[in-house]
Structure 1
Amino acid sequence: MAERIQKLASHLNYPTGMLARQTAIITGSGHGIGAECARLFANEGARVVVCDVDIAKSNEVAKSVNNVCPDRAISFPGDITDQNYFPTLVKQAADFGSGKIHIIDGVIHKMLDEQWDTILAVHSTASFRLIKHAAPYFRVKDGEKRVIVNVCSTSGTHGNVGQFGVRANTVAFAHINTRLTRAKENGDFIVTPEGERVPLGIPVAQLEARKGVSSESQYKDIPLGRPGTATEGAGSILAVCSPLFAYVSGQTIEVTGGRNM
């Protein structure tokens, strides 16, 4: 299925791409779905700003994009919990986009106070700050489409006693952008100033518990019977940002293979 989507994506950009002459800021794009978004968006003609806290990963993704689509990507790594990061990120993106920004795509347990603060900083405050600084580029009246897409785990819509910080973000931003929920990626985490690793993806204990368990048992709550791929997640985001979704606004769209139907 993933190969079919990749083949389809390679044909979507005829003749110039659905996102031609648009500029996209993609946070968390150093790996996984974010990285696939950068590749798919560039393939559709967009100029993409790759953002990740991991400098090496951010640079590598931008390089891989430019190897296929020359001059379509720049890397601007940084910490989204740092309030000074977004003004420079937005300026860099606007300069790269010839003064315009069209798309903002934000990809993204037992808890101490500091961990709670970090979760809110990543899932809520960072989104607020990015939108705040990019707002002037979205208020212009030039007839061009602008899109803000936030991506979170399904805990944001269906609740999870250990991840109510994610749920708080979903409620906070439900009415100002289109949101996609997806299954969590393996191993996602952020480090607090004190060096504490706060899981953002599937907890290690859950991953260990799945070892040796058949696929049928692991994914029996997913009608399609398998987990989604990063390319499939990115493809759904591309669709939302494309002209095909021009009349869709303020919606929560679940990309779950039918889970929680």
Structure 2
Amino acid sequence: MDISGKVAIVTGSGAGIGAALARRLAAGGARVVVTDLDGAAAERVATEIAVDHPDSVIFSAGDAADEATLRDLIARTEAEFGPVDLFFANAGIAGGLGLDSTEEQWNAALQINVMAHVRAAKLLVPGWVERGSGYFVTTASAAGLLTQLGSAPYSVSKHGAVAFAEWLSVTYGGKGIGVSCLCPMGVQTALLDTGFSAGDPSAELAARAVRTAGEVLDPADVADIVVDAVADGRFLILPHPQVLEFYRHKGSDYDRWILGMRRYQEALLAADGV
């Protein structure tokens, strides 16, 4: 899909990948809704974008996993800009760590990293089918194809995000609906800086695993890759090409891959002196 002239909502766009996506979409001629749980952060990003694109951006504060909030967000977008063409389900959290993760941490990760996508799709996809066009972009993670050392809720919820994106594409791809699923490794964001750094060995393991697996990318570079993929209609977006190689190794010999992941984990723990 060509983003020029289109209307896009980007959740979790007060910082990181979401903010970079909002900037890139506006630069490409789209009208953008910047929305984040942190309303002040969303306003800052929107204000920055408005300097060069004054009539192309608005902001909103709210929980991307709350259906009423999503319904109001879509209604406001339609009133300000017209029908939504693209939805970027980008909001995400790290969740808890290992088996010590609380029920609240598990629930939060599943709500924000998976159910927020489901609820947005329920509200948007039927109308897109009637129009014969629409595009849904899921920000998942390489953890959704592989796994995340240290954080069980993050890994499980990101697998769920990938699975839902796959289902959405299989079910509606023949009806004019585009779907892409972004699965990066390390990106320089607050999630990487603080979400996996709680002073706990499992948190430090998660952060080190991401940082040592490959290059840590700038969010703006990831946004460029995403917009190119949307233009091409590609489902799987891999800013780190080696993820595909890892994924192929996993599929070709699952037991060997798990053994390799155990060894990788042991090496990281040994390097941390654990």
TM-score tier (shorter): 0.7 to 0.9
1:112 aligns with one of 86, 102, 120: 102
Gap change, CA 1:200 and 1:240, over 3 Å in 2:
farther
Q: Is the 8 A contact 1:103 1:241 kept in 2?
A: no
Gap change, CA 1:125 and 1:200, over 3 Å in 2:
farther
Figure out how many residues of one structure are paired with residues of the other and give that number: 218
SS of the aligned residue for 1:178 comes to: strand
Gap change, CA 1:207 and 1:114, over 3 Å in 2:
closer
Distance (Å, rounded) in 1 between the aligned partners of 2:32 and 2:244: 33
Q: Is the 8 A contact 1:228 1:257 kept in 2?
A: no
Q: Is the 8 A contact 1:181 1:253 kept in 2?
A: yes
Structure 1 residue 132: deviation in Å? 1.2
SS of the aligned residue for 1:76 comes to: strand
Distance (Å, rounded) in 1 between the aligned partners of 2:114 and 2:47: 29
Q: Kindly indicate which of the two structures has a greater share of residues assigned to helix.
A: 2
TM-score computed with the length of structure 1 as normaliser: 0.74
For residue 145 of structure 2, what is the aligned residue in structure 1?
157
For residue 128 of structure 2, what is the aligned residue in structure 1?
138
Matched, 1:173 2:165: yes
Matched, 1:123 2:106: no
**CA offsets 1:157-183 (integer angstroms, 9 cap, x no match):** 112362222212222332312101012
Distance (Å, rounded) in 2 between the aligned partners of 1:134 and 1:38: 19
Distance (Å, rounded) in 2 between the aligned partners of 1:92 and 1:70: 18
Q: Is the 8 A contact 1:20 1:46 kept in 2?
A: yes
Letter in 1 for 2:163: V
Matched, 1:85 2:73: no
Distance (Å, rounded) in 2 between the aligned partners of 1:207 and 1:125: 24
For residue 14 of structure 1, what is the aligned residue in structure 2?
none
CA RMSD of aligned residues (A): 2.7
Q: Is the 8 A contact 2:196 2:204 kept in 1?
A: no
Structure 1 residue 184: deviation in Å? 4.7
For residue 68 of structure 1, what is the aligned residue in structure 2?
52
Structure 1 residue 200: deviation in Å? 9.0
For residue 265 of structure 2, what is the aligned residue in structure 1?
none
For residue 195 of structure 1, what is the aligned residue in structure 2?
none
Structure 1 residue 94: deviation in Å? 1.5
Gap change, CA 1:160 and 1:210, over 3 Å in 2:
closer
Gap change, CA 1:256 and 1:128, over 3 Å in 2:
same
Superposition map of 1:178-193 within 5 A: 178-185=180-187, 186-188=189-191
Q: Is the 8 A contact 1:187 1:202 kept in 2?
A: no
Letter in 2 for 1:230: P
Matched, 1:240 2:229: yes
Structure 1 residue 93: deviation in Å? 1.4
